[in-house]
Amino acid sequence: MTLRRLLPLLAMLAALPAAHAARPLITDDARLTDPQACQMESWVHFHRQRTEFWALPACNPGGNFELTLGGALSRANGQSDSGAILIQGKTLFKTLETNSFGIGVAAGYASQPGNGQSGSPYFYVPASFSFADDRFVLHTNLGAVREREGRQTRLTWGIGSETQTTDRLYIIAETYGQDKGSPFYQMGLRYWIVPNHVQIDTTFGSQIGNIHDERWASIGLRLITSPLF
């Protein structure tokens, strides 16, 4: 459920929002935080010259609307850098079911670490497809982001998958990008310490054709509460 994963905000705005997907994916899924519950997704994102510390709390008080509000602190070359913010709303038109599909819509506003207060509004349509009794789930995103500084609207896309290998361990893989420029890719592992409540994950990713300048790694923790509302 997102989202989650947008971006390390796409290495962040570079291929922007898949905005906030279930860790560690950038490509969002057609799921929400559990009804009447909240979750906290947090992770450390290691770039070559910058480290980002992300926290994205989200709640679903009504059952079919998830609100995410959070951001990041950043350090570049050993010095504090400008952080980032993200606010997003997400709802589903069809809930994802086993061996079926789900679809929804999400929209929000996100800024990027190291870019001051400048941010971009965005929207996307997440669709997810379940196979083999949920042991393999494919996610697709299609949307647009308005780059305010450049006054351009760009198409965004993402394709991601999660493959269950044991009761608690998943392999994730994805690629995502914009209508211009080289796409990004990411691979990693997700493990439930406490099923449906405490999850850890790790990833490695890069930009296709630019592995030395754009590669990164991340380590994350996801906490999901029992119903609160």
CB atoms within 10 A of CB 218: 22
Question: In this model, does residue 116 exceed pLDDT 90?
Answer: no
**Mean pLDDT in residue range 7-13:** 38
Q: How confident is the model at residue 9 (pLDDT cuts 50, 70, 90)?
A: very low
- Letter string b/e over residues 43-69, b meaning 16 or more CB atoms within 10 A of that residue's CB: bebebeeebbebebebbbeeeeebbbe
Question: In this model, does residue 6 exceed pLDDT 60?
Answer: no
The whole-angstrom separation of Cα 112 and Cα 217 is: 17
Question: In this model, does residue 3 exceed pLDDT 70?
Answer: no
- In tens, the pLDDT along 150-198 reads 788 999 999 999 999 999 999 999 999 999 889 999 999 999 999 999 9
pTM: 0.87
* Closest by Cα among 215, 192, 219, 214 to 203: 219
Question: In this model, does residue 4 exceed pLDDT 60?
Answer: no
Query: Lowest-confidence range among 1-5, 106-110, 217-221?
Result: 1-5
Extents of the domains making up the chain: 38-224
CATH pick for 38-224 out of 3.90.1150.10, 3.40.50.170, 2.40.160.40, 3.40.50.2300: 2.40.160.40
Residue 211: the pLDDT is 60
Round the average pLDDT of the chain to a whole number and report it: 88
Residue 193: the pLDDT is 97
Question: In this model, does residue 121 exceed pLDDT 90?
Answer: yes
The whole-angstrom separation of Cα 111 and Cα 13 is: 8
What residue has token string 């997400």? 90
| Bond before 24 cis per omega within 30 degrees | yes
Question: In this model, does residue 46 exceed pLDDT 80?
Answer: yes
Q: Do 103 and 91 form a contact (C-beta atoms < 8 A)?
A: no
Can you spell out the DSSP letters for the chain? Answer: -TT----SSSTTTTS----S-STT-SS--S--SPTT-EEEEEEEEE-SSEEEEEEEEEE-SSSS-EEEEEEEEEEETTEEEEEEEEEEEEEEEE---TTSEEEEEEEEEEE-TTSTT-EEEEEEEEEEEEETTTTEEEEEEEEEEEETTTTEEEEEEEEEEEEE-SSSEEEEEEEEEESSS--EEEEEEEEEEETTTEEEEEEEEEETT-HHHH-EEEEEEEEEPPP--
The whole-angstrom separation of Cα 166 and Cα 130 is: 17
Residue 50: the pLDDT is 86
Residue 159: the pLDDT is 97
Please state the φ and ψ torsions of residue 214, each to the nearest 5 degrees: -115, 5
